Structure 1
Amino acid sequence: MTLFHLGLIINPVAGLGGPAALKGSDGMAAEALARGAEPRAAQRTRIALEHLRPLVGRLEFLTLPGPMGGDLLSEMGFSHRLIGDLPGAATSAADTRRAVELLQEAGVALILFAGGDGTARDVCAAAREGQPVLGIPAGVKIHSGVYAISPRAAGELTRQLIEGGLVRLASGEVRDLDEAALREGRVAARWYGELTVPEEGGFVQQVKQAGVESEELVLADLAAWLEDSWEAGVRYVFGPGSTLHGLAANLGLETTLLGVDVIEDGRLIGRDVTETQLFELVDGHPARLLVTAIGGQGHVIGRGNQQISPRVLRAIGLDHLRVVATKRKLRTLDGRPLLVDSGDPALDAAFPDALRVWAGYKEELLYPVGHL
């Protein structure tokens, strides 16, 4: 039987900055680890590769040694060959680019890579025109249209490709935000190129809508409703994004644009909290979680708000989660469902088939959630 050859690249430090409230991981791995963040890219990749276990005898991986792929493939029992080496103890962007070059020379049918927008930039810098690649989302910033909507979706799409399914190839944009600007509360995005990605059945995410949405009257109405209905002694967790930042501003509260904040009895008790700080604030205490949907994509959990981890979600309770999104923002989804990608497949599966969305003064909508 002819083996299907897949390339695999894992950026071991991808996503470290999210739980540590660093807004990204580029150049911040050491600080994130010092704050207690734990590597998550390998676990995200494992979720994707679980969907390929039934095909273990039909494929062979090519990858770099150690944390960039070799360790995980050995643990999971996949046939693989190591290419290149890792000259230093810590991996680098240069290692990613070199891996892409080696995998292309080996003629792999598809390169799977786990990371965020910084990793996508490195892949884009080295990939030849027409080389199929697919991102496994594992970073903090994932604006590029080259990532599957979840690790499970990446595995499922790869399985379809190996089994001979008719998977269409398309061009996906690589975009990235300036992390230094992010940490100062400014959003500055750039286009870095395009990659060829398999695209089928809604498995690949859309490019994030750019710009700041301004619907001042709706946010003022939502603020009035929330102010009328504060529950005494309940802690309200505000997720990141311009919608919730604007909502808080209408309440006279100075929250962070891109961080997670906690409000109790109308006052800010936690600003730009880490995952650990957030869990300590909500564990065993009545809490409500407000998040918004990323315009054009629909993610409500797992994109830029990794501080809201699986244990935080369980501590608050899924029945206490509300999406805050104007109808204009929901229309940018073109009928696609809201998406959850917490990193815990069992928790994702526990989400209801539809979430309640606050869209205006005393106006709640029911909007479907996608399950993959």
Structure 2
Amino acid sequence: MIKRLGFIINPIAGMGGKVGLKGTDGEEIVKKALSLGAKKVAPNKAKITLKYIKDNIDGLEILTYPGDMGEEECKELGITSIVVGNINMENTTYLDTEEAALRMVEKKVDLILFAGGDGTARNIYTSVGDRVPVIGIPAGVKMHSAVFATNPLNAGKIVVDFFNNTNVEIRESEVMDIDEEQFRAGRVVAKLYGYMNVPYEQAYVQSLKAGGIYSDNICLEGIADYVIENMESDYIYLLGPGTTTKKILERMGLPYTLLGIDIVKDGEILVNDANETEILEIVEDKKTKIIITPIGGQGYIFGRGNQQLSPKVIKVAGKENIVIISTPNKLIDLKRRPFLVDTGEEDIDRMLEGYYKVIVGYDETYVYKCSY
């Protein structure tokens, strides 16, 4: 029997991350992202997945959509594909994603592989529902849903196992998305849209992002006070998103961006909600530390919601200048799963592997492992 894979890329997914736009839902936001110098990231991530599939599955028939929604990436890797549908090559929209997914269902593919973020997952869900198993290549800014692999390479591993192993578990997984306008205003308003069937392998599939506050205010204040007391005057500090990092700026009496990157030096704010370009201009040839907190329930420290802290920024700071803060309960919630990274560059992900001291209270640290 012929094995058939449907392959769809949302080419604009993730473009808003490095330029600080927190998503690319809507034509005007895409235009703004381009005007700020945003580059497409989803096609390159999808090629990592495709290459692994090509090297590890024989006799697979791949159905895809025209142009940079899948056709071009297959050609670049020397993969023969069946191209269905038509698109406006200059202006793809969510309707193209929905139509592509619908056509894959009609062509009776065994599995749909898509590259994008939560918005893309919603589009796929609209057309597919629970009729065909899916797996997502994480390539967006918003990554709350549980239908994504932990990184592009692991997406490939899931596809290979799905077709080569008849005993792969299929599990109903949540499709979540947030209101981007609320998100840009610093409020997270998440909604459950439904469930899709996903080939489930715990080591390779990300968890649903947990919400809420994981610790009482005393614990957060202890972390914040310890970080503030140990700030050095000759360093620039990049504070990542989240309620845990927000507490540091609150205790310093400084304005903060709940969902962006804030830059601090000598007790003063240099920039709120900085994008990658602004960060690189400020930290060039400067001693820099990055203060981040893992995403609750998932454990990502880079590559989910903080793409402004790009591989270039991480290289400037250096692994030794990454400061991880977390409430103890947030670590407990990970159930011993390691921190994860998905920066888009494998050499950086590999460099970030290892063990870190995590500040969990005033002068209290845990040692915790990071993987990718």
> Which TM-score tier does this pair reach, normalised by the shorter chain?
over 0.9
The equivalent of 1:307 in structure 2 is 308
In the alignment, the residues of structure 1 paired with residue 106 and residue 172 of structure 2 have an alpha-carbon distance, to the nearest angstrom, of 22
Compare 280-289 and 86-95 and name the one that shifted more: 86-95
Q: How far has the Cα of 1:129 moved from its partner? A: 2.3
| Aligned counterpart, 1:329 | 330
Determine the structure 2 residue equivalent to 1:90.
91
Measure the CA separation in 1 of the matches of 2:356 and 2:52. Answer: 27
Q: Is the partner of 1:51 in helix, strand or coil?
A: helix
Distance (Å, rounded) in 2 between the aligned partners of 1:110 and 1:83 = 16
User: Matches of 1:201 and 1:223 in 2, distance apart?
Assistant: 33
What are the ranges of 5 or more consecutive residues in structure 2 without an aligned counterpart?
none
Alignment RMSD, CA only? 1.3
The Cα shift of 1:89 comes to 2.3
Residue 80 of structure 1: CA displacement? Answer: 0.4
Q: Following the alignment from structure 1 to structure 2, what is the Cα–Cα distance between the partners of residues 131 and 125?
A: 12
Supply the distance in 1 between the matched residues of 2:12 and 2:65 (Cα, whole angstroms). Answer: 15
Q: Secondary structure at the match of 2:220?
A: helix
Residue 169 (str. 1) matches residue 143 (str. 2): no
Q: Counterparts in 2 of 1:208-223, with a 5 A limit?
A: 208-213=209-214, 215-223=216-224
C-alpha separation in 2, matches of 1:361 and 1:119: 41
Shift of residue 56, structure 1, vs aligned partner: 5.7
> Is residue 5–residue 113 contact of structure 2 (8 Å, CA) maintained in 1?
yes
Q: Which residue of 1 aligns with 2:22?
A: 23
* 1:1-372 matches, cutoff 5 A: 3-27=2-26, 28-55=29-56, 57-87=58-88, 89-164=90-165, 166-213=167-214, 215-371=216-372
Deviations 1:213-244 (A, max 9, x none): 45311221122212221211200110011110
* TM-score in terms of structure 2 length: 0.96
Please tell me whether the aligned partners of residues 225 and 248 of structure 2 are also in contact (alpha carbons under 8 angstroms): no
Deviations 1:249-283 (A, max 9, x none): 11212110000011111111121101111112222
Task: Answer yes or no: is the 8 Å Cα contact 2:353–2:371 preserved in 1.
Answer: no
1:14 maps to amino acid? A
Q: In the alignment, residue 143 of structure 2 is paired with which amino acid?
A: I
Distance 1:297 1:320 in 2: 23
Greater Cα shift, 293-302 or 54-63: 54-63
Instruction: Give the letter for the 1:85 counterpart.
Output: N
Which whole-Å CA distance do the structure 2 matches of 1:60 and 1:349 have between them?
32
SS in 2 for 1:20: coil
Once the two structures are superposed, what CA deviation does each residue of 1:49-69 show, in whole Å capped at 9, x if it has no partner?
221132364212101110100
Q: Distance in 1 between matches of 2:216 and 2:301?
A: 19
What percent identity do the matched residue pairs reach?
Answer: 38
Residues 241 and 258 in structure 1, CA contact (< 8 A), matched pair in contact too: yes
Per the TM alignment, residue 329 of structure 1 is displaced from its structure 2 partner at its CA by 0.8
Paired residues in the alignment total: 370
What TM-score, normalized by structure 1, do the two folds share? 0.96
Q: Quote how far apart the aligned CAs of 1:191 are.
A: 0.7
Higher mean displacement: 173-182 or 43-52: 43-52
Task: Report SS of the residue matched to 2:114.
Answer: strand
In the alignment, is the contact (CA less than 8 A) between 1:218 and 1:326 conserved in 2? yes
Superimposed CA distance per residue, residues 113-139 of structure 1 (whole angstroms, 9 cap, x where no aligned partner): 100000000111110424100000000
- Retained in 2: the 8 A contact 1:17–1:37? yes
Query: In 2, are the aligned partners of 1:240 and 1:259 still within 8 Å (CA)?
Result: yes
SS where residue 270 of structure 2 aligns?
strand
Other structure's SS at 1:170 match: strand
Q: Secondary structure at the match of 2:196?
A: strand
- 8 Å contact 1:144–1:174 — kept in the other structure? yes
Please give the secondary structure, in 1, of the residue aligned with 2:13: coil
Structure 1 segments, 4+ long, off by >2 Å, are: 55-58, 162-166, 211-215
On the 8 A contact 1:283/1:316 being kept in 2, the answer is: no
Which deviates more from structure 2 when the two are superposed, residues 310-319 or residues 246-255? 246-255
The answer to whether the 8 A contact 1:283-1:312 is kept is no
Q: More displaced, 96-105 or 126-135? A: 126-135
Q: d(CA) in 2 for partners of 1:189 and 1:196?
A: 20
CA distance in 2, matches of 1:82, 1:227: 56
Give the counterpart letter for 1:246 in structure 2. Answer: K
Contact 1:59-1:79 within 8 A present in 2 as well: no
Cα deviation for residue 361 of structure 1 reads 0.8
* AA at the equivalent of 2:288: A
Q: 1:129–1:228: structure 2 CA closer, same or farther, 3 Å change rule?
A: closer
